[in-house]
Structure 1
Amino acid sequence: MDAPIGVIDSGVGGLTVVKRMLESLPNEPIIYIGDDARCPYGPRTPEEVITFTMEMANALQAMGIKMLVIACNTATAVALDKVRSHFTFPVIGVIDPGARAAVKETDSRKIAVLATSGTIQSGAYQQAIHDHLPTATIHALACPEFVPLVESGQYKSAYAGNVVQSGLQSLVGKEFDTAILGCTHYPLLKNHIQNALPEGVKIISSAVETVHDIEKTLRDCNLKNYASHAVPPVFFTSGSTMHFREIALDWLAIDEADVRTIAF
């Protein structure tokens, strides 16, 4: 089926999922919406996040998508059930895949979750981890300063390293062997996060497991595209197309990016 897969995020963070999709599913058309103008979602009320998520999902439905990936942890935490009940196409979130990946990796059953304030307050990761590993000890930490670092393009800077070091200070002395990057923006800060955490801690991004879920759903629902050629993704942003393009080219390691404006 040659209809596109829709991907939505509060900004550029969902590009971490798109990057893995391009590697594993190069023949699948992708339409991405990043709501940069209203990012970050973490400090917003659940009602706002649900409204924004539904607006993006409705826009993608009008573009004829066959599946929706909510590549935003905050939106997944508060809006996944609402979106699933509203549309007939499959809808995939990123929290359960991230929790599964962490449970597979941990030896000590002690896991840190780094996420936005909204995701931590929702308890969604804590619940998902305990669903797969009831005996897990979870250290949940809101890191509200991280998303603005990525959205502003400062994620490679020494300043970002200092902000990350400070933001993770409260984990000093806590015991855990696995840390979930519970926001799709955070993999762009992975090197800084790795440097700030104790040596040997395994860092988990939900992107790999999420793409496994996408692949399984494509097969199970007979939605797979069997075209023999790669299809370049199309990106929409509610913010600056130039800024979005710069980050997309850098993170995805592509030569061109079709970035368009969308308004809500």
Structure 2
Amino acid sequence: MQQAIAVLDSGVGGLTVVKELMRQLPQEKVIYFGDTARSPYGPRSAGEVRTFTRQIVEYLIQFNPKMIVIACNTATAVAIEDIRERVSIPVIGVILPGARAAIKTTRSGVIGVIGTDGTIRSNAYEYALRLISPNIQVYSEACPLLAPFVEKGLFGADSANEVVEQSLRQLIGKPIDCLILGCTHYPFLVEAISRAMGPDVTLISSADETAREISTILYHRDMLTSSGQLPIHQFFCSGEPDLFKQIAQNWLKEQISITPVVWQVPNIL
């Protein structure tokens, strides 16, 4: 039986990682869990996010995956080490890949980061960037409106430009030459973000970079699938399945089935 790559997120944002995985590694099976019933994670405490992430991983482990991808910046920032201590398979986050890509891209050494309240509050990107390059200057901005906007399926609406401009107003005009999209929901809004920031600012998608890192790790560990057969992916969500399915099919450009999951344990353990 083919082992899958298990991907989890607070909602639909991790589908941006899944889309790149499907493009780069078309033979790999993906099992995806979107915790849409408790999204967004950004305003929640670190303890809540760790509890939720642990609960989802415990659910996904039953499928015997070969790797776990925490495709949520907030969960990566506060929960990845906790999860690594609990499982024996590789656990990949989305922060270090995005930071490395920004360091490679920047010419001025001045980098912008946008993310949820939780991600920005953790200073995880600033720490990761300065760990690689101590003299980097970082402008960080929390954008709490954007992930819920995407979760509602409104990323294609005319109002997207207004919401994005409102969220980025503190960064527009700053001397940054690249901007890390520090939430996997943000690639859904990439056109509006690019329009707001202007042509001189390169956008760095942590989702795209994470998919590349997954590919590299699987290759070096000799864990790539070579069956020659196209996999059947599995998708789970804890909230309303119809909207999730609509967003997923629109983004992934393929028909999928969704299995709703009703938690049998309290939200806070």
CA distance in 1, matches of 2:212, 2:155: 27
Q: Is the 8 A contact 2:26 2:230 kept in 1?
A: yes
Partner of 1:198: 198
- CA deviation after TM superposition for structure 1 residue 89, in Å: 0.7
Partner of 2:110: 110
CA distance in 1, matches of 2:137, 2:219: 35
Instruction: Name the SS for the 2:22 alignment partner.
Output: helix
1:5 pairs with 2:5: yes
Q: Is the 8 A contact 2:10 2:38 kept in 1?
A: yes
Partner of 1:38: 38
Tell me which amino acid in the other structure corresponds to 1:141: E
Partner of 1:127: 127
Q: Which runs of 5+ in 1 are unaligned?
A: none
Q: Is the 8 A contact 2:95 2:182 kept in 1?
A: yes
Partner of 2:258: 259
- CA deviation after TM superposition for structure 1 residue 88, in Å: 0.3
Tell me which amino acid in the other structure corresponds to 2:53: T
**What percent of counterpart residues are identical?**
45
The range that moved more, 37-46 or 218-227, is 218-227
After superposition, the C-alpha distances for 1:98-149 in whole angstroms (9 at most, x for unaligned) are 0011111110111100100000000100011111221111000000000111
After superposition, the C-alpha distances for 1:51-86 in whole angstroms (9 at most, x for unaligned) are 000011111101111110000000000000000011
Q: Is the 8 A contact 2:172 2:196 kept in 1?
A: no
Tell me which amino acid in the other structure corresponds to 2:41: Y
**1:83-94 aligned within 5 A:** 83-94=83-94
CA distance in 1, matches of 2:138, 2:123: 11
CA distance in 2, matches of 1:232, 1:161: 36
Instruction: Name the SS for the 1:204 alignment partner.
Output: strand
Tell me which amino acid in the other structure corresponds to 2:62: A
The range that moved more, 218-227 or 92-101, is 218-227
Instruction: Name the SS for the 1:74 alignment partner.
Output: helix
What number of residue pairs does the alignment pair up?
A: 263
- Divergent runs of 4+, >6 A: none
Partner of 1:14: 14
Q: Is the 8 A contact 2:16 2:208 kept in 1?
A: no
Note the aligned Cα RMSD (angstroms).
1.1
CA distance in 2, matches of 1:173, 1:207: 25
CA distance in 1, matches of 2:232, 2:22: 9
CA distance in 2, matches of 1:172, 1:56: 37
Tell me which amino acid in the other structure corresponds to 1:257: I
Instruction: Name the SS for the 2:37 alignment partner.
Output: helix
**Which TM-score applies when normalising by structure 1?**
0.97
- CA deviation after TM superposition for structure 1 residue 199, in Å: 2.7
Instruction: Name the SS for the 2:165 alignment partner.
Output: helix
The range that moved more, 108-117 or 207-216, is 207-216
Instruction: Name the SS for the 1:171 alignment partner.
Output: coil
**1:228-243 aligned within 5 A:** 228-243=228-243
Q: Which runs of 5+ in 2 are unaligned?
A: 264-269
1:61 pairs with 2:91: no
Instruction: Name the SS for the 1:111 alignment partner.
Output: strand
Instruction: Name the SS for the 2:7 alignment partner.
Output: strand
1:146 pairs with 2:136: no
